[in-house]
Amino acid sequence: MVKIRDIELGEFPLLLAPMEDVSDPPFRALCKKHGADLMYTEFISSEGLIRDAIKSRQKLDIFDYEKPIGIQIFGGDEEAMAMSAKIVDATAPDLLDINFGCPVKKVVSKGAGAGVLKDVDLMVRLTQACIKSTSLPVTVKTRLGWDDSMINIMEVAERLQDIGVEALSIHGRTRSQMYKGEADWSYIAAVKNNPRIKIPIFGNGDIDSPEKAVEYKNRYGVDGIMVGRASIGYPWIFNEIKHFMATGEHLAVPGVKERVEAARDHLMMSVKWKGERLGVVEMKRHYTNYFKGIAHFKEYRTKLVTSFDLQEILDMLSYIEENSEEFVFSNPV
């Protein structure tokens, strides 16, 4: 049984990665429905939280059906991180996660996210500031290092564990790689196999199929796997991985009707949470993924992503559902 303090996650938990502009409550609800064991919010700016920025505050929204769930924050200032940890604590998630892995320039340039990998002493101070300011378990998501010449994940893991971090999720790329190239899980395995390391170690990067999840579980010996981009428009991946691990067999690929149902549920939850205008707009990024692989679907996809009328989109989804037999997958596997 993998545990983070008193949070029981099962024998080999599957985690939903925190993804900016993706891992909001509507998306998380679908991933929870389809088997995610632990989820995180989109990352939240510590500076935004203490300025009472509306977007940052909205990201604190969590719901009982999502539990266990962690709220993730980022920042490069100790005081701001400490104050943010207190705000998160009052929201009562199951844990607080710190992002030391985001590689995008606007985050790194502020000395936050993966930028902190260049200064492990600062990383330790920022983490200590959070730990001292909350009663929640504190976990960290990070990368292997800044670049190939500065892969310092072993030092990071040991020092974070020593100050009280209770789990570590490691993306198998450096900051300089961004999301390019292949994730190198050998470093993640080295951390897991370090006899000094006692906390759960979760691997992240390139998990896009049940076969790869089983292969990486067996090869690298991690305590669980974090799934990110592969879940976008395909929340079924969590239960597919679990079923394959248990039986060695594949679940049936979701058909057109199942994809319409998921897209419609996602849309309506987005509208309910964000309001009709924003819910419709922000849902547009998901349609391509929900209907990926369906032959001759361009016309319908174009209508879904260009319409701003909720009823028109719902009518289009209903049409696709009612005529599902007309749509075939170009690659049915």
What's the CATH code of the domain at 304?
1.10.1200
Q: Which domain holds residue 311?
A: 256-326
Residue 20 lies in a domain: yes
CA separation for the pair 136, 145 (Å, rounded): 26
Is residue 228 domain-shared with residue 277, that is, in the same domain? no
Is residue 176 domain-shared with residue 290, that is, in the same domain? no
CA distances (Å), 109 to each of 16, 42, 74, 112, 114, in order?
A: 26, 19, 13, 7, 10
Residue 332 lies in a domain: no
Contact 117, 145 (CB under 8 A): yes
What pLDDT is recorded for position 328? Answer: 87
Is residue 210 domain-shared with residue 295, that is, in the same domain? no
Is residue 197 domain-shared with residue 229, that is, in the same domain? yes
Is residue 12 domain-shared with residue 46, that is, in the same domain? yes
Is residue 203 domain-shared with residue 290, that is, in the same domain? no
Summarised one tens digit per residue, pLDDT across range 184-212 is 999 999 999 999 999 999 999 999 999 99
What pLDDT is recorded for position 331? Answer: 64
Residue 85 lies in a domain: yes
Is residue 267 domain-shared with residue 119, that is, in the same domain? no
Is residue 243 domain-shared with residue 148, that is, in the same domain? yes
Residue type, 315: D
Residue 300 lies in a domain: yes
Is residue 115 domain-shared with residue 225, that is, in the same domain? yes
Mean confidence (pLDDT) of the chain: 94
How many independent structural domains does the chain possess? 2
Q: For residue 172, give the nearest of 139, 221, 205, 211 by alpha carbon.
A: 205
Q: Which residues are annotated as a binding site for FMN?
A: 72, 141, 171, 228-229
Residue 333 lies in a domain: no
The domain boundary residue, chosen from 223, 247, 271: 247
Q: Token match 């990352």: residue?
A: 43
Is 130 catalytic? The answer is no
Out of 51-55, 111-115, 196-200, 288-292, give the one with best mean pLDDT.
196-200
Residue 331 lies in a domain: no
**What is the DSSP-derived secondary structure letter of residue 230?**
G
Is residue 225 domain-shared with residue 264, that is, in the same domain? no
- The CATH number given to whatever domain includes residue 38 is 3.20.20.70
Contact 103, 175 (CB under 8 A): yes
Q: Which residues are annotated as a binding site?
A: 72, 141, 171, 228-229
Alpha-carbon Rg for the chain, nearest whole angstrom, is 20
The domain boundary residue, chosen from 216, 247, 278: 247
CA separation for the pair 62, 92 (Å, rounded): 9
Summarised one tens digit per residue, pLDDT across range 64-122 is 999 999 999 999 999 999 999 999 999 999 999 999 998 998 899 888 999 999 999 99
Is residue 149 domain-shared with residue 40, that is, in the same domain? yes
Which segment of 41-55, 72-86, 125-139 scores lowest on mean pLDDT? 41-55
What pLDDT is recorded for position 54? Answer: 65
Say if residue 333's pLDDT is above 50.
no
Q: Which of 102, 138, 226, 267 is catalytic?
A: 102
The domain boundary residue, chosen from 221, 247, 273: 247
Is residue 33 domain-shared with residue 127, that is, in the same domain? yes
